[in-house]
Structure 1
Amino acid sequence: MHYSLDFSAPLAYWPELLAGAWTTLALSLSATVFGFLLGVFCALTKTGHSVWLARVASAYVELIRNTPLLVQIFIVYFGLSSLGLQVGAFTAATIALVVNVGAYTSEIVRAGIDSIPRGQMEAAECMALSRWQTLRHVVLPPAIERVYPALTSQYVLLMLASSICSQISAEELTAVANRIQSDTFRSVETYLIVAGAYLLMSLVMRAIFWLIAMVAFPRLRRLGTPL
């Protein structure tokens, strides 16, 4: 059986594809920022002095890391509706991705915190620094620097995993592609185009993270290899 590739039909929908790609990036960047903040908070909680807060954070991390992302998206989307909170698919997808990536970020950042020598924190205490000052100036900067490549990979994977959000009709790239292939009957060509778009977005995100590292981490900037 002979099959000829014809990209003209799906490419005619380039405005919709571009809008879907933009939605994917917006969804991913929003989840990255808030997921990072949530993950750092949980990591600090797990390494703090409050036992019950550490247990709550640990339970959250284990629950999220051991359940599928798709199930989490459904719980957020349909669960909020059941509670009478009507939110759009984009908002529900963002919440689910933040909750998901926050758990993975927590474990990555916690590993970075655990890698800081105890002597550095004891020296900070000898200088009469408060706990917040110790975390802000002594612990978090080198900890995040050490795990930055792992965080970068995790957030790129998050962007790729956002394609699952098409299951709740979030108008991201994969949802747009599903609609285009049903209209054109050119499934192979449509998804090849989408695969190329995801590859390009992955490279763009890695470039953004590289620029952030060059600004935020002077030592890595001197080495020239932040990722």
Structure 2
Amino acid sequence: MKYDFDFSAPLAYWPDLLAGAWTTLALSLASTFFGFLLGVFCALASTGRSLWLARVATVYIEVIRNTPLLVQVFIVYFGLSSLGLQVDAFTAATVALVVNVGAYTSEIVRAGVESIPKAQLEAADTLGLSRWQTLRHVVLPPAIERVFPALTSQYVLLMLASSVCSQISAEELTAVANRVQSDTFRSVETYVLVAAAYLLMSLVMRAVFWLVAMVAFPRLRRLGTPL
């Protein structure tokens, strides 16, 4: 049986596919930013002096890392509605992705924090630095620099995993592709184009994170170390 490929039909929907790709990027970047903040907070909580904060952070991390992302998306989407909070699919998807990636970010950053030699912390105490000054100048910069490649990979995986948000009708790339293939009956061609788009977006995100690393970490800039 011979199959004739015809990309003209799905390509006719290029404005919709482009809009879906843009929504995917916006969803991913927003989730990356807020997920990073949440992850750093949880990492500091789990390695800090407050026992109850450490326990709360540990429970959150274990629950999120041991349940499927799709289930978390459904819980956020339908749970907020049950509480009387009417939010659109994009907002619900963003919240779910932030909660998800925050747990993974926390574990990655925690590994970086725990890699800081105790001698550096003792030197900070000797200089009379406060706890916040120690975190700001001694702990976080080298810790995040060491784990930045792992964070980059995690956030690219987040962008790819955002396709599950199509299940709650978030108009990201996969959701648009589902609609296009149902209209054109060209499933293979549609998803080949979508796969190429995800590959391109992954490369773009890696390039953006590389630029961030070059700006944020002078040592990497001097060495020109790739991610």
Residues in 1 aligned to 2:35 and 2:134: alpha-carbon distance in whole angstroms: 23
Residues in 1 aligned to 2:180 and 2:214: alpha-carbon distance in whole angstroms: 39
Q: CA-to-partner distance for each residue in 1:33-64, whole Å, 9 max, x for gaps?
A: 00000000000000100001100000000000
Give the AA of the match of 2:57. A
Could you say which residue in structure 2 is the equivalent of 1:157? 157
Could you say which residue in structure 1 is the equivalent of 2:20? 20
TM-score, length basis structure 2: 1.00
Give the AA of the match of 2:40. V
Could you say which residue in structure 2 is the equivalent of 1:166? 166
Could you say which residue in structure 2 is the equivalent of 1:126? 126
Could you say which residue in structure 2 is the equivalent of 1:99? 99
Give the secondary-structure state (helix, strand or coil) at the position aligned to 2:225: coil
Residues in 1 aligned to 2:7 and 2:14: alpha-carbon distance in whole angstroms: 11
Q: Is the 8 A contact 1:112 1:147 kept in 2?
A: yes
Residues in 2 aligned to 1:212 and 1:145: alpha-carbon distance in whole angstroms: 11
Give the AA of the match of 2:52. W
Could you say which residue in structure 1 is the equivalent of 2:57? 57
Could you say which residue in structure 2 is the equivalent of 1:215? 215
Residues in 2 aligned to 1:115 and 1:97: alpha-carbon distance in whole angstroms: 27
Give the AA of the match of 1:219. R
Could you say which residue in structure 2 is the equivalent of 1:36? 36
Is residue 109 of structure 1 aligned with residue 116 of structure 2?
no
Residues in 1 aligned to 2:26 and 2:122: alpha-carbon distance in whole angstroms: 42
Give the AA of the match of 2:172. E
Residues in 2 aligned to 1:213 and 1:57: alpha-carbon distance in whole angstroms: 27
Give the AA of the match of 2:197. A
Could you say which residue in structure 1 is the equivalent of 2:89? 89
Shift of residue 226, structure 1, vs aligned partner: 3.8
CA RMSD of aligned residues (A): 0.4
Could you say which residue in structure 2 is the equivalent of 1:194? 194
Q: CA-to-partner distance for each residue in 1:5-27, whole Å, 9 max, x for gaps?
A: 00000000000000000000000
Give the AA of the match of 1:10. P
Residues in 2 aligned to 1:28 and 1:53: alpha-carbon distance in whole angstroms: 28
Give the AA of the match of 1:56. V
Could you say which residue in structure 1 is the equivalent of 2:69? 69
Q: Is the 8 A contact 1:10 1:189 kept in 2?
A: yes
Give the secondary-structure state (helix, strand or coil) at the position aligned to 2:128: coil
Could you say which residue in structure 1 is the equivalent of 2:224? 224
Residues in 1 aligned to 2:136 and 2:24: alpha-carbon distance in whole angstroms: 32
Task: Specify every segment of 5 or more residues in structure 2 that has no aligned partner in the other structure, as ranges.
Answer: none
Paired positions, count: 227
Q: Which runs of 4+ in 1 moved over 3 A?
A: none
Is residue 176 of structure 1 aligned with residue 176 of structure 2?
yes
Residues in 1 aligned to 2:59 and 2:34: alpha-carbon distance in whole angstroms: 20
Give the AA of the match of 1:168. I
Residues in 2 aligned to 1:90 and 1:34: alpha-carbon distance in whole angstroms: 15
Shift of residue 216, structure 1, vs aligned partner: 0.5
TM-score, length basis structure 1: 1.00
Give the AA of the match of 1:67. T
Residues in 2 aligned to 1:134 and 1:93: alpha-carbon distance in whole angstroms: 35
Shift of residue 222, structure 1, vs aligned partner: 1.1
Could you say which residue in structure 2 is the equivalent of 1:136? 136
Q: Is the 8 A contact 1:214 1:226 kept in 2?
A: no
